[in-house]
Amino acid sequence: MNHASARESVVAAARSLFSRSLTHGSTGNLSVRVDDCLLVTPTGSSLGTVEPDELSLISMDGEHLDGRAPSKESFLHLAMLKARLEACAVVHTHSTYSVAVSCLGGVDANNVLPPLTAYYALRVGRVPLLPYHAPGDSTLGPAAEAAARHHHAMLLRNHGPIVAGTSLSAAMDAMEELEETAKLYLLLGDRAKPLTDTQARALGPG
């Protein structure tokens, strides 16, 4: 993917997330790896209005190369891509139901959502809940990198989901599956009957 098409893909994905209320205001950020650099949405921008030429270009070491200043959470994108060499895109949103689950007490931080559907097991798998850090706090980077070695999706405590994928569309699909499963989980409560561990392992990325 060249830089021009990557920019168009990021903006199209951003518009899609915003138009379906999976982000709001200036929340959420997206990135795509192009060659040895990362295109990432800029800090303080709305995913509903960001333009291709406003995207930030940074090195894989975090150096700002071109465009507007990058998202203050770009370090999380870099951490996940460093841990998952097969991944080339990261999606982070503040989508309502995933954020709600990230705020719950008494959940399993090693696997915060049960596999309620086959598609969740297939596209998402086990999702850890990382400890709370203030937005932009770079000390979260090492924890995210460590978790990403085993999981391509995670929830940030009292914050929201972040997902890496082998393509932007794969990351989007997994993030949306995570959001829908969070919604089901909150709707069903203790009436839910998840897939068994055997059923989930047969489908999921683990």
pLDDT at 206: 53
Which of 73, 145, 176, 177 does the annotation list as catalytic?
Answer: 73
Which segments of the chain have a pLDDT < 70? 204-206
Contact 136, 73 (CB under 8 A): yes
Q: What is the pLDDT of residue 201?
A: 85
- Each domain of the chain, given as residue ranges in start order, spans 3-203
At 204 the pLDDT is 58
Q: What is the pLDDT of residue 205?
A: 61
> Has 119 been annotated as catalytic?
yes
Of 97, 119, 179, 180, which is the active-site residue? Answer: 119
How many Cα atoms within 13 Å fall on the side-chain side of residue 172?
19
pLDDT of residue 94: 96
pLDDT, residue 60, reads: 96
**pTM for the full model?**
0.95
What amino acid is encoded at 177 in this protein? E
Q: Which pLDDT score, from 0 to 100, does residue 168 have?
A: 97
Between 3.20.20.70, 3.40.50.1820, 2.60.40.10, 3.40.225.10, what CATH number should domain 3-203 receive? 3.40.225.10
Query: Quick one: which H or E segment has residue 145?
Result: helix 140-148
In contact, 39 and 57? CB cutoff 8 Å = yes
**In this structure, are residues 75 and 138 in contact, taking their beta carbons and an 8 Å threshold?**
yes
- pLDDT tens digits along 114-152: 999 999 999 999 999 999 999 999 999 999 999 999 999
